[in-house]
């Protein structure tokens, strides 16, 4: 018969690590980054410069600057906006940005050093050897510490305290133990209580709890005093001033007030959760040492039954306590289930803290956007991904290992993922990442992607844990856990990078413009060419989102890691003798029997043949799909000059969808029959995608060699696919997307397969999966060569997949490392305007006047004045060549005109994006037409002068005269909008527009 004692003996609570250090690291990072983020907000507000003027000049509305329309106005004119901000409202230097976290850490370090001195101050306690009988008490403490802790702590006593309690403080290298007077007296009157309490405190020292615990406490207090309090005081003052001037509470204001308060509450709950776990670990450590803890808890009153309302209150209070209730601690001695539980609160807090941590880190680079690169943004995303992976994976693996040991249902990961997703959503809403200046996101459904990603990650983690517990032949699960941690970190890093930099914008309302996207694609491939309008509409809607996701730096590695990790675990089970980790871990408590290990157990895990066969079928379907795409496009009978534009692009994209279709079939076949549905679907989809990509690459490279399948070429030759589809990085998009869509498709197919299970089975399983049981059986009938072949195949497939991902990452390395601002050119900016559908914002007459006034003041007046003066100079010179109302152009007069044409060209060069569009449609139309006409006319003028071509020169003069009229129209319209000629903006010397300066 299985008893609680035998259950506990079969799995030590220390298996796979406690995971509390990772939770402390998560809290510490959030405290540090939040300090810098909040102080940065204060610094920016104290030195605002003329940031509002730059927003107005861009045509944005500063009162709604965080909302999508205003954001698009500034990002769509980034070549003008960045230098404007850099000149008129420079961001704080790096040393000021980093000063906040440095000061907080320094103060926390000093507090950590002073905290023990404060706790042992003379007015609170005295040294133990200074009281009568103190030497005997110290000797007993030394006996209890012998062989259990590295050093005996320094001993203190609180003589006036009659309670039988104690506490340790200090650091791991310099521990202190303070005893209450009642406990010191109980050394002779109640030695069992004395020993139990002291051993519990010594267990904290043995578990190395002191430094991290008191360091976090010091950092927490520093954060409250140095950051939160001044921040709230400053923000409250600013809010009061705004309300006094008639401005109501906006979503941004309320969120700014709520963010520090809610962040503090989240961190308090998370800190209390970690401390409760540490108390239980200390109890169990002391219990292994023989501490008579039952003697203490036997005297504790039993927990009374409470009503539902009182139970809810009790649950809330339990979450606030740093120590668990006595009945929980008593029960944990026989069954440490609380230490293996997948807590909903823990998952929620982990998600919320991770999202806030990522948001705070992104604030650092937002102050200096010119240095931001894709790799830097990925590196920032990797920080919350690392701690989230460490916390979540450790908790789920521990729960799975315990379930496997006890033969109980293993966690599916669904419940944990839902709570993790809710935490991520809460953090995103709290930070304003998905709302901008609104109360709620414009597209609430986008938040479902967060929950789906969280559930997929936790389910994947649980499946990997189940595979490892069922197959890993080693005597420890730490190696497969390390592999899962690494792969999980890659997955979450890629996801956080995509969400923080791209996907969160979809929730605010951003989406690419179909018409603009079609025009952009048409320019990638030279020559005309088109396909069915419906196909164009689908591609224009989906391809931009796919590009943003696929071209994240870590996405290829993450896509491959998602399926080679379960493949490696599966191969280990195929080639090994079964799980070797199932054994007693550590010693048992006194009187508890050891687990029976005399029977040689073997875990039966199905070989992944089904996944491999499914992959081969899916790969064949993918290749046939690409052949079908070629045959279909061949029916268009496009001539040699009709194979560009959407025709060439659709060739690549339809080939991609053919590969995805084969991947989906492979995943469906594997998930339909395998015991481990998600790992089988992932492995099958991953291998199928590689086969499909290889087949598609070969077919595109020999395009033209098989006449019924000709698409882009008519003659037979080897033309590498990556060269034929190089425009717009199209082939790279296909390759990146293939690796990305493999795990995404497998996850989606697995969900469908799970939903199609018989309802009675779902009810019977009650949302959990039965853990495989070790069964005694005959030796494996697999030959050694076959087992070795399976392992070699897995290694070879993984090597090919990793090589493919490495090639893709290396191919884009330069673009990923280069700061994104350096890649912004007028053509790139124009393409963004086109694809994002940049539009003029509706504005009241007052706001429109402010916008035009700012445009005119910060550089528009300078450009208009020079445009008109240059045009007037041109007219003056032309008049000097007139005789009898006719122009007499000579080589000399043309030569004198050349500098004027050059000046006109210089002014015209500002219009395509070097300076803002005029925030008035009528004026902008005239000013844009000036830029186009003046640029063309000045070029023709200089060419005519160089060639001494009088006819061409006269034609260019007509163009420049038209441009002059456009400039005058724009100037008159701007003056009419400002409507006050006495305004100081019309007086003095005009200000030259700032030029882009990358630092």
Q: Model confidence over 415-436: pLDDT tens digits?
A: 999 999 999 999 999 888 888 7
Q: Binning pLDDT at 50, 70 and 90, where does residue 1 land?
A: very low
Is residue 332 included in any domain, yes or no? no
Q: Which residue has the tokens 């490279």?
A: 701
The percent of residues in the chain predicted with pLDDT above 70, rounded, is 82
For residues 603 and 469, give the distance between their C-alpha atoms in angstroms, rounded to a whole number.
9
- Cα atoms found within 13 Å of the Cα of residue 113, Cβ hemisphere only: 5
Kindly state the tokens that stand for 985. 């903006």
Residue 462 pLDDT > 90, yes or no? yes
Stretch 45-73: mean pLDDT, rounded? 81
Residue 597 pLDDT > 70, yes or no? no
Residue 867 pLDDT > 80, yes or no? yes
Residue 317 pLDDT > 80, yes or no? no
CB 168 within 8 A of CB 204: yes
Q: Which residue has the tokens 């289930």?
A: 337
List alpha helices for 190-339, DSSP H. Answer: 191-206, 210-222, 229-244, 251-288, 293-297, 308-320, 326-334
Domains in the chain, number = 4
Is residue 85 included in any domain, yes or no? no
Rg (CA), the chain: 35
Virtual torsion, Cα 999, 32, 110, 203, nearest 10 deg: -140
Q: Which of 443, 475, 507 is the last residue of a domain?
A: 475
Please tell me whether residues 679 and 738 are part of one structural domain.
yes
For residues 234 and 217, give the distance between their C-alpha atoms in angstroms, rounded to a whole number.
25
For residues 57 and 849, give the distance between their C-alpha atoms in angstroms, rounded to a whole number.
10
292-297: Cβ within 8 A, 24+ apart: 292/192, 292/195, 292/196, 293/196, 293/200, 293/329, 293/330, 293/333, 294/330, 294/333, 295/192, 295/193, 295/196, 296/192, 296/193, 296/196, 296/197, 297/326, 297/329, 297/330
Residue 67 pLDDT > 70, yes or no? yes
Please tell me whether residues 366 and 457 are part of one structural domain.
yes
Domain that holds residue 359: 341-475
Residue 270 pLDDT > 70, yes or no? yes
Please tell me whether residues 795 and 847 are part of one structural domain.
no
What is the pLDDT, as a whole number, of residue 968?
93
Kindly state the tokens that stand for 859. 């550089």
Q: Which of 659, 624, 648 is nearest to 713 (CA)?
A: 648
Where residue 147 sits, what CATH number does that domain have?
3.30.2010
What is the pLDDT, as a whole number, of residue 603?
37
Q: Which of 452, 475, 498 is the last residue of a domain?
A: 475
Encode burial over 400-432: b for 16+ CB neighbours within 10 A, e otherwise.
bbbbbbbeeebbbbebbbbbbbbbbbbbbbbbb
Q: Which of 174, 208, 242 is the last residue of a domain?
A: 208
Is residue 325 included in any domain, yes or no? no
- The C-alpha angle with vertex 213 and arms to 211 and 215, in degrees rounded to 5, equals 60
Three-state secondary structure along 382-448?
HHHHHHHHHHHHHHHHHHHHHHHHHCCCECCCHHHHHHHHHHHHHHHHHHCCCCCCCCCCCCHHHHH
Whether the CA torsion 227, 233, 237, 243 is positive or negative: it is: positive
Is residue 835 included in any domain, yes or no? no
For residues 925 and 918, give the distance between their C-alpha atoms in angstroms, rounded to a whole number.
9
- Which phi and psi angles does 887 have, rounded to 5°? -85, 135
Is 245 buried (19+), middle (13-18) or exposed (0-12) by CB count in 10 A? exposed
Residue 777 pLDDT > 80, yes or no? no
Q: What pLDDT, in 10s, does the model give residues 672-725?
A: 865 788 999 999 999 999 999 999 999 988 988 888 888 888 888 888 888 888
CB 957 within 8 A of CB 941: yes
Is residue 428 included in any domain, yes or no? yes
Kindly state the tokens that stand for 607. 């070989």
Residue 155 pLDDT > 90, yes or no? yes
DSSP letter at 872?
H
Q: Which of 559, 699, 681 is nearest to 615 (CA)?
A: 681
Instruction: Write the DSSP assignment of 240-252 as a string of letters.
Output: HHHHHTT----HH
What is the rounded average pLDDT for all residues in the chain?
81
What is the pLDDT, as a whole number, of residue 975?
92
Q: Which of 23-27, 131-135, 564-568, 994-998 has the lowest mean pLDDT?
A: 994-998
Is residue 817 included in any domain, yes or no? no
Residue 239 pLDDT > 70, yes or no? yes
- More confident position, 114 or 714: 114
Please tell me whether residues 800 and 885 are part of one structural domain.
no
> Hey, which residues does 156 pair with through a beta bridge?
127, 178
Residue 174 pLDDT > 80, yes or no? yes
The helix/strand/coil state of 158 is strand
Please tell me whether residues 691 and 744 are part of one structural domain.
yes
For residues 70 and 591, give the distance between their C-alpha atoms in angstroms, rounded to a whole number.
71
Kindly state the tokens that stand for 874. 């041109």
> Hey, which residues does 158 pair with through a beta bridge?
180
Q: Binning pLDDT at 50, 70 and 90, where does residue 142 land?
A: very high
For residues 925 and 969, give the distance between their C-alpha atoms in angstroms, rounded to a whole number.
10
What is the pLDDT, as a whole number, of residue 295?
76
Q: Which of 38, 601, 661 is nearest to 363 (CA)?
A: 38
Q: Which of 155-169, 245-259, 556-570, 866-880 has the lowest mean pLDDT?
A: 245-259
Please tell me whether residues 426 and 358 are part of one structural domain.
yes
- Which phi and psi angles does 154 have, rounded to 5°? -70, 140
For residues 646 and 519, give the distance between their C-alpha atoms in angstroms, rounded to a whole number.
9
Q: What pLDDT, in 10s, does the model give residues 885-938?
A: 777 888 888 899 999 999 999 999 888 778 998 999 999 999 999 999 999 999
- More confident position, 210 or 823: 210
The helix/strand/coil state of 179 is strand
Is residue 707 included in any domain, yes or no? yes
Q: What pLDDT, in 10s, does the model give residues 340-397?
A: 888 888 899 999 999 999 888 888 777 666 677 788 888 889 999 998 999 999 999 9
Please tell me whether residues 627 and 744 are part of one structural domain.
yes
Please tell me whether residues 369 and 451 are part of one structural domain.
yes
Count of CB atoms situated within 10 Å of the CB of 240:
10
What is the pLDDT, as a whole number, of residue 240?
80
Please tell me whether residues 712 and 640 are part of one structural domain.
yes
Please tell me whether residues 876 and 958 are part of one structural domain.
yes
- CB contact set of 611 (below 8 Å; sequence gap of 6+): 570, 670, 674, 679, 680, 681, 683, 684, 687
What is the pLDDT, as a whole number, of residue 790?
64
Q: Which of 194-198, 486-490, 836-840 has the lowest mean pLDDT?
A: 836-840
- CB contact set of 520 (below 8 Å; sequence gap of 6+): 831, 834, 835
Please tell me whether residues 613 and 757 are part of one structural domain.
yes
Whether the CA torsion 541, 545, 551, 555 is positive or negative: it is: negative
> Hey, which residues does 642 pair with through a beta bridge?
none
- Which phi and psi angles does 704 have, rounded to 5°? 110, -15
Q: Binning pLDDT at 50, 70 and 90, where does residue 865 land?
A: very high
E strands, 838-937, where? 882-883, 886-887
Residue 546 pLDDT > 80, yes or no? yes
For residues 787 and 780, give the distance between their C-alpha atoms in angstroms, rounded to a whole number.
10
What is the pLDDT, as a whole number, of residue 244?
74
> Hey, which residues does 167 pair with through a beta bridge?
178
- More confident position, 265 or 244: 265
Residue 177 pLDDT > 90, yes or no? yes
Is 155 buried (19+), middle (13-18) or exposed (0-12) by CB count in 10 A? buried
CB 157 within 8 A of CB 131: yes
Is residue 279 included in any domain, yes or no? no
> 175-180 and 154-158 as β-strands: parallel, antiparallel, unpaired?
parallel
Q: What pLDDT, in 10s, does the model give residues 242-256?
A: 777 666 667 777 887
Q: Which of 920, 782, 984 is nearest to 59 (CA)?
A: 920
Please tell me whether residues 797 and 865 are part of one structural domain.
no
What is the pLDDT, as a whole number, of residue 534?
58
For residues 955 and 950, give the distance between their C-alpha atoms in angstroms, rounded to a whole number.
9
């Amino acid at each position: 018969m299985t008893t609680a004692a035998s259950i506990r003996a079969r799995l030590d609570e220390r298996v796979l690590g406690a995971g509390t250090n990772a939770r402390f690291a998560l809290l510490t990072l959030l405290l540090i980054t939040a300090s810098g983020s909040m102080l940065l907000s204060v610094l920016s507000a104290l030195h605002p410069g003329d940031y509002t003027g730059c927003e107005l000049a861009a045509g944005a509305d500063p009162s709604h600057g965080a909302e999508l329309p205003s954001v698009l106005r500034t990002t769509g004119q980034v070549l003008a906006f960045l230098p404007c901000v850099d000149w008129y409202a420079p961001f704080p230097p790096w040393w000021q940005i980093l000063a906040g976290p440095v000061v907080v850490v320094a103060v926390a370090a000093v507090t950590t050093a002073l905290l023990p001195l404060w706790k042992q101050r003379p007015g609170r306690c005295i040294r133990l050897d200074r009281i009568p009988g103190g030497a005997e008490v110290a000797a007993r403490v030394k006996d209890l510490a012998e062989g259990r802790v590295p050093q005996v702590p320094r001993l203190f006593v609180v003589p006036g305290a009659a309670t039988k309690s104690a506490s340790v403080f200090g650091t791991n290298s310099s521990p202190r133990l303070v005893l209450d007077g009642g406990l010191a007296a109980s050394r002779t009157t109640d030695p069992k209580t004395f020993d139990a309490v002291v051993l519990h405190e010594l267990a904290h020292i043995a578990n190395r709890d002191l430094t991290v615990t008191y360091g976090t406490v010091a950092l927490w207090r520093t954060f409250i005093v140095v950051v939160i309090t001044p921040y709230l005081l400053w923000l409250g003052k600013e809010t009061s001033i705004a309300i006094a001037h008639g401005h109501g509470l906006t979503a941004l204001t309320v969120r700014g007030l709520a963010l520090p308060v809610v962040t503090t509450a989240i961190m308090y709950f998370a800190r209390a959760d970690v401390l409760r776990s540490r108390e239980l670990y200390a109890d169990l450590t002391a219990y292994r040492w023989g501490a008579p803890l039952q003697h203490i808890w036997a005297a504790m009153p039993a927990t009374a039954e409470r009503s539902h309302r009182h139970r809810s209150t009790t649950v809330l209070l339990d979450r606030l306590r740093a120590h668990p209730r006595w009945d929980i601690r008593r029960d944990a001695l026989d069954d440490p289930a609380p230490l293996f539980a997948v807590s909903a609160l823990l998952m929620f807090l982990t998600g919320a803290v991770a999202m806030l941590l990522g948001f705070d880190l992104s604030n650092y680079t937002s102050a200096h956007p010119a240095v931001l690169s894709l790799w830097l943004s990925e590196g920032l995303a990797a920080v919350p991904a690392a701690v989230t992976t460490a916390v979540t994976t450790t908790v789920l693996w521990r729960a799975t290992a315990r379930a496997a040991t006890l033969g109980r249902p293993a966690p599916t990961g669904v419940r944990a993922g839902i709570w993790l997703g809710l935490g991520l959503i809460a953090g995103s809403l709290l930070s304003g990442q998905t709302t901008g200046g609104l109360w709620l996101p414009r597209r609430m459904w986008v938040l479902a992607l967060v929950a789906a990603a969280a559930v997929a990650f936790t389910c994947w983690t649980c499946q990997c844990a189940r595979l490892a517990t069922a197959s890993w032949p080693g005597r420890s699960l730490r190696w497969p856990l390390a592999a899962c941690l690494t792969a999980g970190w890659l997955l979450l890093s890629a996801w956080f990078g995509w969400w923080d930099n791209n996907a969160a914008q979809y929730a605010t309302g951003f989406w690419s413009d179909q018409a603009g996207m079609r025009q952009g694609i048409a320019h990638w491939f030279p020559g005309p060419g088109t396909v069915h309008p419906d196909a164009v509409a689908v591609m224009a809607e989906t391809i931009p989102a796919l590009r943003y996701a696929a071209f994240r730096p870590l996405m290829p590695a993450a896509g491959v890691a998602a399926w080679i990790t379960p493949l490696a675990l599966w191969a280990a089970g195929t080639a090994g003798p079964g799980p070797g980790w199932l054994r007693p871990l550590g010693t048992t408590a006194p009187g508890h029997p050891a687990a029976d290990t005399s029977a040689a157990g073997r875990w039966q895990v199905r070989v992944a043949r089904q996944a491999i066969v499914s992959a081969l079928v899916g790969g064949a379907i993918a290749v046939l799909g690409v052949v079908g795409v070629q045959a279909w496009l061949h029916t268009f009978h496009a001539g040699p000059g009709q194979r560009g534009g959407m025709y060439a692009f659709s060739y690549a994209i339809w080939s991609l969808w053919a590969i995805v279709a084969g991947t989906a079939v492979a995943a469906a076949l594997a998930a339909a029959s395998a015991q481990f549905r998600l790992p089988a679907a992932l492995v099958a989809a991953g291998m199928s995608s590689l086969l499909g990509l290889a087949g598609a690459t070969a077919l595109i490279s020999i395009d033209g060699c098989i006449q019924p399948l000709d698409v882009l070429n008519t003659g037979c030759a080897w033309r590498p696919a990556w060269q034929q589809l190089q425009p717009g990085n199209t082939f790279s998009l296909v390759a990146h997307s293939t690796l990305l869509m493999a795990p995404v498709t497998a996850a989606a197919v697995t969900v469908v397969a799970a939903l199609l299970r018989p309802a009675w089975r779902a009810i019977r399983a009650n949302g959990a999966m039965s853990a495989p049981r070790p069964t005694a059986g005959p030796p494996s009938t697999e030959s050694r060569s076959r087992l070795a072949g399976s392992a070699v195949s897995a290694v070879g497939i993984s090597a090919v997949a990793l090589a493919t991902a490495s090639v893709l990452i290396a191919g884009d390395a330069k673009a990923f490392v280069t700061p994104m601002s350096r890649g912004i050119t007028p053509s790139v900016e124009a393409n963004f305007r086109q694809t994002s559908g940049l539009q003029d914002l509706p504005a009241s007459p007052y706001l429109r006047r402010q916008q035009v006034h700012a445009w005119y003041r910060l550089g528009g007046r300078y450009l208009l004045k020079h445009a008109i003066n240059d045009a007037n100079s041109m007219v003056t010179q032309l008049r000097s060549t007139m005789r009898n109302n006719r122009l007499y152009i000579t080589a000399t007069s043309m030569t004198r005109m050349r500098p004027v044409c050059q000046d006109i060209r210089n002014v015209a060069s500002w219009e395509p994006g070097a300076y803002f569009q005029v925030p008035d449609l009528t004026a902008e139309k005239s000013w844009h037409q000036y830029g186009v006409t003046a640029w063309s006319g000045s070029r023709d003028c200089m060419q005519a002068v160089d060639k001494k071509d009088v006819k061409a020169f006269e034609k260019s003069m007509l163009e420049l005269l038209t441009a002059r009229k456009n400039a005058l129209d724009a100037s008159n319209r701007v003056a009419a909008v400002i409507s006050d000629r006495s305004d100081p903006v019309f007086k003095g010397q005009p200000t030259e527009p700032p030029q882009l300066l990358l630092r």
